[in-house]
Structure 1
């Protein structure tokens, strides 16, 4: 955009007013639940102060986390929260050895993103949350709070107590239970002196991909009650895939548009080819997937399964865990690069149109907009397609579209965080974060900072 005036000014103006104590732009690194599930000795979040310092060095000013409000405030889970034993998905039955010893995966999910959790330690999660806020304050970071508890967080615990407590809440009561938990947790953070460090409160992450009713069935009302109780905070709920073609279907009352923008495109084509996201396929692994596995990969029976309750506690399927743990990441990437040309224009247009739909909905509702996750989708841990030149170009297109349409905050990429290999691409993160923070900041009509 060459000049911000006229129509450009209208488009680039922030979609809603941002509280004055928060940064004028948010550049977000997605720490999700990994800040407590990957805190093993030597792990990416072993030292929270170091992790915060690394984020600032890369140009970020915000982190987005699962604050586990249910675990931290349900009375029946008090003992569990004070001594949360992190296991991950558990050890494989062959303890890292396969049928011929050439492909080793010592624990389930070792080659997946987010689930590559070796575990083996205990954490006082309430104390660790305050430790995280203390470190964020020292480094000038703000924190977006969410819950992944009805999506996957309890699956990483050794005990099923956390999952059983959440699962026991009747479906119709889950939003009100989350609301009560957030009120309690926000009171704790306020008492600890960290209220102004809170950039956003999300009733739950990706309500459309979680063990929750539709947001219109009680969730929006819970958000509205939280907003009324905490008028100084931005309170909302997030969608993994908002209804971009019919945004009027999003229920009333959200205090921000924290929606996610993924364009699977060529990735979805490969996943369909491999039948890797399904459950219970008779011919799994199919011929296409078998051709893409590393030498010596076991069959699913040899690989075994994590504890059954862990599959109920997460949205990832057993076929995806098996496939990602034994895929040849180079072969995966080669397929994506070979076929990307057929999807390039569609993926670029899809990212652009979805960002604009979110921004225009936020402008209609006069609330700030944030893209809290994006841009391509869920890939194996060692796949580099999204981190490479194609993925970075798609991310840059999404970021610049967001800036041109008044989006307040955004991730560079969902994979740009300490628990992903992309964290090592320091220069790209610095460059893109600098571009975000240097973008002109026309305010909504009649508003000045």
Structure 2
């Protein structure tokens, strides 16, 4: 007779944390974009601006593997753009100024700033997707790849446990809302050697779970009072039963795409540069007249490792760099109505599924990224009348399903143009925070 597995008892959410988390996505930009004139050159000002917009939580890549999983000297970490004009019109990649930081000191400074502003932090890592691409030498990237794929979540968990101990020694661990082993675990090098998530996402998620289980258990052994989890791209509705056992928060990223999927599929943005249908894109009026041939838009040999260190599709980078942003927005507006019902239904269904699974496990649900999707840096579809209304809808749905944390949208952060739309962010955050008092 098989002995049943004892149900996991989730770590309770610490009582000092907010009833609702209003999240702004600072990702890796909070350390990459610290050069002269950059949005995070002054962390104090960035935090003050976040509070003024109604945020109480930032979500970051805490670079745990770099800081605590390697012997790389990070006391003078040099960071910069990928190379020349490459990816300079891509969201999250438009680094204007190089920077040098003492990375551990910078982490502590962020925690101190957050404490002064009564803000909290969700610790995560983008390292097996893109963080190392901003380093000026490949040591970070090489160290990440040197870890056997089966051991990568465990190494991240150990590094994050060391990081938590590091900030706790300074009396700052009360700023941590919860910890994620990694961002969007099924997308990137964390699942190397497993089924391809682009081909069979449910199989990829299920196959990755044993690796994640080991990491979560290791973190819990070190910090039994700190909630820890992983997060998923989208809401994996076909694989919910296979998610790791020791998750303390269910975190998903409901990018519904819809009309954006039409562009992605029509122009094979997740394919190869060699197969990119450039003439079809030109015929659609989406490219600037001076756009080069796609296969020529690559980094030089001396930094070619960076082409691997980021998982962002190379055709997508090409299109974002050379797109006519106004034409791209028109393309979306002209086609949106066909996708409207599908996008709204998908959002509501995904949030219902996430909430139902979280309730079954007795854990809170958080949406750490999401809504429409990855648009050009200078396109404003998500800030415009349709996108903004979608943000409002997502907030209302987050309220309806009782989410613990949510966001205005992924573009609502200091390094995106949407940061200037103070009124929309304040409106959405106030609405979500009011649901805690209702």
* Structure 2 length-normalised TM: 0.90
Partners of 2:57 and 2:276 in 1: CA distance: 45
SS in 2 for 1:207: coil
How much has 1:301 moved relative to structure 2?
5.0
- Report what 1:4 is aligned to: none
Distance 1:119 1:318, change over 3 A: farther
- Report what 2:156 is aligned to: 178
What runs of 5+ residues in structure 2 fail to find an aligned partner?
1-9, 192-206
- Report what 1:426 is aligned to: 422
1:363 to 359, 364, 371: 359
What runs of 5+ residues in structure 1 fail to find an aligned partner?
1-14, 92-106, 443-449
1:159 to 126, 137, 160: 137
- Report what 1:340 is aligned to: 336
Counterparts of residues 47-126 of structure 1 (less than 5 Å): 47-77=42-72, 79=73, 81-91=74-84, 107-126=85-104
| Contact in 2 for aligned 1:227/1:233 (Cα 8 Å) | yes
SS in 1 for 2:126: coil
- Report what 1:297 is aligned to: 291
* Structure 1 length-normalised TM: 0.88
> How big is each residue's C-alpha offset from its partner over 1:179-226, in whole Å with a ceiling of 9 and x where there is no partner?
211121111010011111100100111101121134313212311331
What value does the CA root-mean-square deviation take over the aligned residues? 1.7
Higher RCO by CA contacts (8 Å cutoff, separation 6 or greater): 1
Partners of 2:89 and 2:395 in 1: CA distance: 28
- Report what 1:196 is aligned to: 174
SS in 1 for 2:189: coil
Counterparts of residues 49-448 of structure 1 (less than 5 Å): 49-77=44-72, 79=73, 81-91=74-84, 107-213=85-191, 214-282=207-275, 284-289=277-282, 291-300=285-294, 302-305=296-299, 307-440=303-436
Partners of 2:271 and 2:212 in 1: CA distance: 28
Partners of 1:246 and 1:181 in 2: CA distance: 28
How much has 1:300 moved relative to structure 2?
3.0
Q: What stretches of structure 1 move > 6 A for 4+ residues in a row?
A: none
> How big is each residue's C-alpha offset from its partner over 1:262-314, in whole Å with a ceiling of 9 and x where there is no partner?
10100010122222232143354232246311122222355442532112111
- Report what 2:15 is aligned to: 20
How much has 1:239 moved relative to structure 2?
0.7
| Matched residues, number | 411
| Contact in 1 for aligned 2:274/2:295 (Cα 8 Å) | no
| Contact in 2 for aligned 1:70/1:149 (Cα 8 Å) | yes
- Report what 1:10 is aligned to: none
Partners of 1:315 and 1:176 in 2: CA distance: 21
Partners of 2:34 and 2:135 in 1: CA distance: 13
1:46 to 41, 45, 49: 41
How much has 1:39 moved relative to structure 2?
1.0
How much has 1:406 moved relative to structure 2?
1.4
Partners of 1:289 and 1:222 in 2: CA distance: 47
SS in 1 for 2:233: coil
